[in-house]
Chain A
């Protein structure tokens, strides 16, 4: 029997088993749910080993790879890979109460390193460039673009005010915050609409799979 057909049929049956939850919880759904949990744990274990642990620690330090030749990234000596590898292992010390405090050192280096790498680019991309984008010409109200700009600036200022926690939302501040929450909710509505589209696309994709790839009736 064709292995592709068996695989497709198995995938289709599991799809239907998961969708059966929409009617009510049943043993087929439970089986599919537990199967996904187990298989994903095993799959990710293998993926993480071969794509994370092996090329970054095992290959450079021990010069071996299970089932193939060691992968050697350019310019990485064995000690360059060993130190971060040990720091990664130290993270697991938190499972042993007596030496658990050591893991905070490794966590600190990890969090600190990534924060340092990220602060300047994020400040640039998420703050400065957006400030630049917010300083719009709002005076040209004889054009449609002028009204769009005004709406954007008002919404922006209102939203920033809503998330101000140092003062109570009273008076002018309260009024501006209320404008802000209106804009926020409108934004959520738009985002929700996009997400409905996204979820529906996933459903359409599954239906396409069932009708086209499995049953071949369309």
Chain B
């Protein structure tokens, strides 16, 4: 009996050695069981720094390290890396990522810009974690300048420089050539026709807000039209869809009448605010056309879907119609139903041509030369692409 226990334990040990149970200890001889309680090797060279990308909002921190010596090989093969983040150097903080073996870098997103963070990276083998490698403080910073946006800066500066240069030239009195827009003759002819027929002129400055550049260009042309109407003593009706545009139009028309020497003929009731709602405005203007029967309809400014309603109703009343807008989608209707149309930028050119205002002229000339630059770049791009140099396009690719 006394020999039974040692024999039994010897048998069990031999059996365990020959047929070990499944588990890590299976690979390890008995002498190495003591080493199994050791953790895997720590990662080394951990660095944490602000992450730089195209679109940096300062909310990312980049981590990099050298893999643990036990990664991918050896008895203590790493199962995963664990990344901890805290705001104090001696705190473990929260677990922000678990990464697969072989990963030597990570981008921590969602950090608050300007706040210092401390990081710990541990290698975990399924049972134990390595000693933590630490790094920090790392602070996410919003970049002052995105280098990938350099082409935007270069082109913008070139454009501004040209506009300012031409504006100065115009202000000094230099004669800057702008070819006459044929549509302007049509505008003057329309007002003349209305005078002959003894009927009013209808001028719709679009439904854009006062800050819309098309509305501003339209008001410049309105001033010119109002002067002619004042000289010929033709009533001028100006319906508007925005209250601020109405008050601007009132000023413009009143000044024009005064400059033409007919301040008493100015009728403020002819400058009317109708409605902010697009189709309500369209309906009201159509109503004016049917009831007051203007002989000339001028649509110059920002228009949207109501453009066709105006053009069709005006066509029915047999009025002479001249239109101009930079909203390309509306140009087809104006071209179809109006006697003359100012296409897109011709509206701005017309207002610059009429007013000779240095800022308008400068802007027009600047954009003209911008077009020249654009044409040159496109031609260069086409030629280079044909010669098998597609990298050219990448300079413009800022994403």
- A and B in contact, CB less than 8 Å: yes
Q: A residues bordering B, Cβ < 8 Å?
A: 18, 25, 30, 33, 36-37, 40-41, 44, 91, 94-95, 107, 110-111, 114, 119-120, 123-124, 127-129, 131-132, 134-139, 153, 156-157, 160-161, 163-169, 184-185, 188-189, 191-192, 195, 199
Check A37/B244 contact, CB under 8 A, given A128-B396, A135-B382, A135-B392. no
Nearest-neighbour CB distance to chain B for A27, whole angstroms, equals 12
From A160, A163, A188, contact of B332 by CB (8 A): A188
Check A41/B275 contact, CB under 8 A, given A153-B378, A157-B379. yes
Closest-by-CB residue of A relative to B368 is A166
Query: Once bound together, how far apart are the Cα atoms of A25 and B287, in whole Å?
Result: 9
What are the residues of chain A within 8 A of B382 when measuring CB–CB? 134-138, 153
From B211, B244, B377, contact of A94 by CB (8 A): B244
B179 near A169: Cβ-Cβ < 8 Å: yes
A166 near B365: Cβ-Cβ < 8 Å: yes
A135 near B332: Cβ-Cβ < 8 Å: no
What are the residues of chain A within 8 A of B364 when measuring CB–CB? 165
A-B contact count (CB 8 A): 140
B336 near A37: Cβ-Cβ < 8 Å: no
From B181, B333, B368, contact of A195 by CB (8 A): B333
What are the residues of chain A within 8 A of B345 when measuring CB–CB? 163, 165
Of B71-79, B198-206, B277-285, the one contacting chain A is B277-285
What are the residues of chain A within 8 A of B280 when measuring CB–CB? 33, 36-37, 40-41
A137 near B385: Cβ-Cβ < 8 Å: yes
Q: Is B142 an interface residue (CB 8 A)?
A: no
A120 near B378: Cβ-Cβ < 8 Å: no
Of B124-132, B149-157, B218-226, B256-264, the one contacting chain A is B149-157
Q: B residues bordering A, Cβ < 8 Å?
A: 149, 151-152, 155-156, 159, 177-179, 181, 210-211, 244, 247-248, 274-277, 279-280, 283-284, 286-287, 290, 308, 328-329, 331-333, 335-336, 343-346, 349, 364-365, 368-369, 371-372, 374-375, 377-382, 384-386, 392-393, 396-398
Q: Quick one: which of B179, B328, B329, B332 has the most chain A CB within 10 A? A: B332
Check A120/B277 contact, CB under 8 A, given A137-B386, A195-B333. no
B393 near A123: Cβ-Cβ < 8 Å: no
Contact sample, A vs B, 10 pairs, CB 8 Å cutoff: A44-B277, A120-B156, A131-B374, A132-B381, A134-B381, A135-B378, A138-B382, A157-B378, A166-B177, A195-B308
What are the residues of chain A within 8 A of B155 when measuring CB–CB? 123, 127-128
What are the residues of chain B within 8 A of A128 when measuring CB–CB? 151-152, 155, 396, 398
B385 near A135: Cβ-Cβ < 8 Å: yes
What are the residues of chain A within 8 A of B335 when measuring CB–CB? 185, 188
Query: Once bound together, how far apart are the Cα atoms of A111 and B277, in whole Å?
Result: 23
Query: Once bound together, how far apart are the Cα atoms of A119 and B344, in whole Å?
Result: 19
Nearest-neighbour CB distance to chain A for B5, whole angstroms, equals 75
From B211, B276, B284, contact of A33 by CB (8 A): B284
